[in-house]
Amino acid sequence: MTFNLRQVYAFAREYHQKRDNQKDIQYGTAGFRSHADNLDYVMYRMGLLAVLRSRAKSGKVIGVMITASHNPEQDNGVKLIDPMGEMLEQRWEKLATALVNVSDDDLETQVGKISADEGIDNTMPAKVFVGMDTRYHSPQLAKAVLNGIAAMRGTVRDFGIVTTPMLHYFVTCSNTNMAYGLPTEDGYMHKLLRAFKTIRGKDFERGNYVNQVYYDGANGVGSLKMLGFIKKFDCYLNVKVFNSNGKINYNCGADYVKTNQRAPEGLPELEPNARCVSVDGDADRVLYYFTDAEGAFHLLDGDRIATLIAGFLKELVEKCGVDINMGLVQTAYANGASTDYIVNQLKVPVACVPTGVKHLHHKALDYDIGVYFEANGHGTIIYSTSVKDKIAAASKDESLTQEQRGAADILLQTIDLTNETVGDAISDMLLVETVLHYRGWSLNDWLATYTDLPNVLMKIKVEDRNVITTTDAERVCVTPEGLQDAINEIVAKYAKGRSFVRPSGTEDVVRVYAEADTKENTLQLALDVANVVYDKAGGTGERPQKPQI
């Protein structure tokens, strides 16, 4: 099976032309992301690259997901999924950036260069899975991806509208000869539901746990797929979906709730302390929250989810008596109180890595059980093959007590309830519901495990985000010169103060994170640091104003 490079080039020129005024675009943590009107040629070229990547991986399935996640409706994006469901290899991110940014005239040469440099045999088969979110422009952009795959003579399986985690799951299943599960939507749902129902049993309510959750679908694919789950939950979990048919991510969804520290629009009128959950536009992030009897809003974010799940897993590991190396991975955005709780109360080692799922996922592989979550609600758990074997053996070991074998059985079901390939809002929600039910906890009980430090995140527009460079897992600013010294002087003025800055991966903004002992100190600390960034990093527009939380 061969292709003609000149045909690839000619097809691009005629149907997926790159305009002369197109700005260069960079493949970042989330792949390529921009206004949808700018992405047709990008999608075509990513179809080309997916086929090249599949051939470079000896014909393994590669995924292409069309989504802009938590971005507003007018945006879209695309990213590649590697054979085991992981993010695209970092070295290939540079190849993706180079391929997308060449002119149409140089496209033929660039495809040939990648093939030659990577030793790719373009006569061998290649297979690509494609999925998309619910944005109105996703189908048209998907056609561009499919055209790119066809131009390179790759074979394709188009899954249509799916969550991002589902496509990661499908890719992994296919490349493991279905050892991980069936690469279908029914296979995905069946695996999660079977494990969820087995752990929960018929005792639907326990202690302070109420079998009712209100689900904000961000008007995206997460609402569509949750409605499918509801049909199969039976009485095991009562879920009420809202924000299911409006503008994607508009004043709703996980990013809105996290950024604004308040409930989304569209939330029905509820009794105090009702358990609520929000996902994002492609359903790979999840957050919990509630409003108490006094009207105060309480958020339980990715840090909280990490501590809840880690504590549950540690308890089960200790009960079954298996020797397991367990660790938790965070980014600099993790609340300082959560880190203190994990280390000093749960006694679980913590590692800090740069922002981005690829960094968290990679570090989590160092442990037998690696738990990772970003504060924004994106995360999962990874279990090594050896630890799965140990737990399976323990569940059948007659020399162990019934309690030990029972704990091992629950661990095995928890593994099946986990989408290990990537953060998965639906899988993670079911994990949280499982732990809360197991402990008989309400959200108030969960919240009481520790007290978060007040924190805030600001965005500062700059001329060029690349003037900011960082080290030490993005906690220390290297350039511009003098910026970190200024931040250190400001932070020293505040009790329990902590602040860091990092450039966005997709737009010319610098993010400023701050936390301190009180809300007022946190807001002032953030403003002080934001103004220093504005002055030293080329801020544009109005000077920063004091944020609100």
* Catalytic residue IDs: 69
DSSP collapsed to 3 states, 14-77? HHCCCCCCCCCCCCECCEEEEEHHHCHHHHHHHHHHHHHHHHHCCCCEEEEEECCCCCCCCEEE
Contact predicate 288/304, CB 8 Å: yes
What is the torsional sign of CA 277, 81, 248, 258?
positive
Helices 104-117 and 90-101, axial angle in degrees (round to 10):
150
236-245 burial, b at 16+ Cβ within 10 Å, e below that, comes to bbebebbbbe
Give residues with Cβ within 8 angstroms of 466, minimum separation 6. Answer: 503
Contact predicate 277/220, CB 8 Å: no
Q: How far apart are CA 530 and CA 549, in angstroms?
A: 16
What would the two tokens of residue 453 be? 């430090």
Task: List Cα–Cα distances, 396 to 200, 400, 401, 415, in angstroms.
Answer: 21, 9, 10, 17
Contact predicate 145/43, CB 8 Å: yes
Name the 3-class secondary structure at 208.
coil
Q: Is 449 exposed, middle or buried (0-12, 13-18, 19+ CB in 10 A)?
A: middle
